[in-house]
Amino acid sequence: MEFELKRTYRSSGTNGALWYDGTLICHTIELPWKDNEANISCIPEGRYLLEKRITHERGFHLILKSVPGRSWILIHAANDAQTELEGCIAPVSELTGIGKGIRSSEAMDKLLEVFEEAQENQNHIYITIKEKSAMNILERVKKPTPKLFRKLRTVGLILAAAGGAILGAPITLPAGLITVAGYLTVGASVLTAVSQVTVDDEVKIPPLPEVKNKGDASPR
């Protein structure tokens, strides 16, 4: 078992979701990808050893070992990647924008708690960083549908049923009405299919428990 960070890249920053053993721990914020240039870029994707450390400035936090071309890459509290990070990763409880979030110290406490529990069962703990992959069709269908598209899906089903009823009527109907019913059925089917695979991709994180201050430094 190891940590897994799934990133979404944007020109102004990088957002992510941090998982451990299939459980979502928190969101993350980072600088945008700029060819691994020191101080202005997030680090390359890869698998890195994680270690816990403490300093007077930041309190308890994590460090990634053997990052290509970079040094002192940490996971520490911060709420704005552009003003508070120089290549490090910051956990946040909630994303508020690209490279921005809130309640980072709370998320850091939760991450450290999970890390400490993991240390009880294994000597070395790793994190794999990769781009968030596109969903396949099965995953997309299983995802929740946004409220608007649930309504459109219902409308599509009603229209499809109406068109089918007209086409299957036991009496002779005008040719124009039959043609309209055919178009109605096809359009309704497309509307229903599109609505079904339009997903709400927002990840919900359960409320963070109350934790005691572990000496975590204020974001800088």
Q: Tens-digit pLDDT profile for the chain (220 aa)?
A: 899 999 999 999 999 999 999 999 999 999 999 999 999 999 999 999 999 999 999 999 999 999 999 999 999 999 999 999 999 999 999 999 999 999 999 999 999 999 999 999 898 999 999 998 755 555 555 556 666 666 766 776 787 777 677 666 666 667 776 677 677 667 767 766 665 555 455 444 444 444 444 444 433 3
- Cβ atoms of residues 101 and 94 within 8 Å: yes
In a domain, 65, yes or no: yes
* Contact partners, residue 218, CB within 8 Å, separation at least 6: 77, 105
In a domain, 20, yes or no: yes
- Kindly provide the b/e burial profile for residues 86-100, where b requires at least 16 CB atoms within 10 angstroms of the residue's own CB: ebbbbbbbebeebbb
Measure the CA–CA gap between 2 and 91, rounded to whole angstroms: 16
In a domain, 202, yes or no: no
Q: What pLDDT score was predicted for residue 165? A: 73
Residue range of the domain that includes 163: 145-196
Asked whether residue 34 falls in the same domain as residue 107, the answer is yes
Asked whether residue 112 falls in the same domain as residue 62, the answer is yes
* Contact partners, residue 145, CB within 8 Å, separation at least 6: 153, 195, 196, 198, 199, 200
Q: What pLDDT score was predicted for residue 161? A: 76
Asked whether residue 20 falls in the same domain as residue 109, the answer is yes
Calculated CA dihedral for residues 138, 144, 145, 146, nearest 10 degrees = -150
Specify the DSSP element, H or E, that contains 111.
helix 104-119
Calculated CA dihedral for residues 34, 87, 82, 23, nearest 10 degrees = 110
In a domain, 19, yes or no: yes
Per the structure, how many domains does the chain have?
Answer: 2
Q: What pLDDT score was predicted for residue 133? A: 78
| Strands annotated E in 58-217 | 59-65, 73-75, 90-92, 94-97, 100-102, 125-131
Asked whether residue 103 falls in the same domain as residue 170, the answer is no
Whole-number Cα distances in Å, 174 to 170, 177, 182, 186:
13, 5, 13, 19
